[in-house]
Amino acid sequence: MKVLLVGGGGREHALAWRLRQDDPTVQIFAAPGNPGIAELATCVPIGVTDVDALLRFAQEQSVDWTLVGPEAALAAGITDVFRAAGLPIFGPTRAAAQLETSKAFSKTLMVDASVPTGRAVTCTDLASAIRAIDALGAPVVIKASGLAAGKGVIVCQTMDEARAAAAAMLEENAFGDAGATILVEEFMEGEELSVFVLTDGERMIPLPAAQDHKRLLDGDRGPNTGGMGAYAPVSIVEREPGLIDDVLATVVAPTLAAMRARGTPFTGLLYAGLMLTANGPRVIEFNCRFGDPETQAVLPALSADVSLTAVMATIARGERLPDGVRLDATRAAVTTVLAASGYPERPRTGDAIDIPEPPADVLVFHAGTKRAPNGSLVTAGGRVLAVTGLGDSLDEAQRRSQEFAAAVTFDDKQFRTDIGWRELARRAGAT
């Protein structure tokens, strides 16, 4: 089997790893890939939004199906182009991907479909944004409606912070076109939960839930990032067996139905970022692809008894998902992100990286790395590596992740030492 994997980050490295786990004979092409992915695949220098070049390559290589990693490729309409050419592809169309690419679209759809979510006002000018801020009060969340590389959400503790955030987006062009429309949204309290659901547009197969850590520093302090680590599974789900069924019934199913009713059915991977409030799960946001860094924890935790590859290929071919398929976690996984100096504001690149040989039950996924002209490995992005530790318990998985994260070296690396802290506290009976 030949698979074209679109993307070059940590998420795509984890996907390549899982493809190889499911089928050791699979031939993987990655566009553009990265040095870690190159150990599992043939990397080709095609950008993720160069849809025409990706299509030509897929046709020339007679790939069986294409797996899309990043949202930018979906926003560029790669699925539409591949389907028009008769090529199987995993990922939603450009219209369906609006669930992620336009928070304003997503919020309107959720309200119309009675999907539980936070109250929000969509604004295109500062005056209306300030009125919305005054009406909702602080704390309040200011969101750029478009894609902003994971940086377009600002949690504001005071009214002044909120007004400044709105002004930065709407008048100072802080996020470019992504911030030309913003949402002023109710601040929701509770724990966050990431739920991945594979879907053929109607039927659904959930993956093990995960929890992400967005803040840069231990104790959930510091600025928001694209994610400093994640773990799976989450005991909240284990202790409330009806929770995922509730999410499927009240969040995912009505969203899929609303997309079908609009004539833009959603197929692929729907990621629901949830807040577990006192009144039940409420949607923070949708993503239309595997999340990062949750994927680096969820995929290694998955049972090897069921082929994730086979399920994704079924969806890519436009076929009906089989009944009775379960994708359960059989081990605990903790992923610690190693970030570059200056991340998230101004990450430094070009620092030499040394990665010792990982021990058993440790996986290292490359995100922001590249090869220097002399062949050495150097930093090439904000989030550089993701170190996933596996274990029969979360404590064991966290210890393995942390020990190896400390062993990797590059100048001024940043990483959190408390990934999974809420879970460990729960398991210790502290909360």
pLDDT at 150: 67
Strand pairing partners for 352? 378
3-state SS, one letter per residue, for 301-366: HECCCCCHHHHHHHHHCCCCCCCCCCCCECCEEEEEEEECCCCCCCCCCCCECECCCCCCCEEEEE
Helix (H) or strand (E) holding 130, with range, is helix 126-136
* Among 403, 383, 401, residue whose Cα is nearest residue 333: 401
Q: Which helix (H) or strand (E) holds 89?
A: strand 89-90
- Other Cβ atoms closer than 10 A to 392: 11
Q: What is the pTM of this model?
A: 0.93
Report domain extents, the chain.
2-91, 125-180, 191-427
Q: Can you read off the two tokens belonging to residue 144?
A: 């750029």
CATH number of 125-180: 3.30.1490.20
Tokens of 408: 């990797």
Q: What is the CA radius of gyration of the chain?
A: 21
**Sequence-ordered strand ranges (E) for 204-331:** 204-206, 211-212, 215-217, 221-224, 229-232, 268-277, 280-287
Q: Token digits for 213?
A: 């850590």
pLDDT tens, the chain, 431 aa long: 999 999 999 999 999 999 999 999 999 999 999 999 999 999 999 999 999 999 999 999 999 999 999 999 999 999 999 999 999 999 999 999 999 999 999 999 999 999 999 999 999 999 999 999 999 999 999 999 888 776 788 889 999 999 999 999 999 988 998 899 989 999 999 889 999 999 999 999 999 999 999 999 999 999 889 899 999 999 988 888 799 999 999 999 999 999 999 999 999 999 999 999 998 999 999 999 999 999 999 999 999 888 999 999 999 999 999 988 889 999 999 999 999 999 999 999 999 999 999 999 999 999 999 999 999 999 999 999 999 999 999 999 999 999 999 999 999 999 999 999 988 888 777 54
Contacts of 410 (CB under 8 A, 6+ apart): 338, 340, 351, 352, 353, 354, 379, 384
Pick the CATH number of 2-91 from 2.40.110.10, 1.10.3720.10, 3.40.50.20, 3.30.565.10: 3.40.50.20
The answer to whether the CB of 389 falls within 8 A of the CB of 415 is no
Which architecture does CATH list for 191-427? 2-Layer Sandwich (3.30)
User: What pLDDT was estimated at residue 96?
Assistant: 98
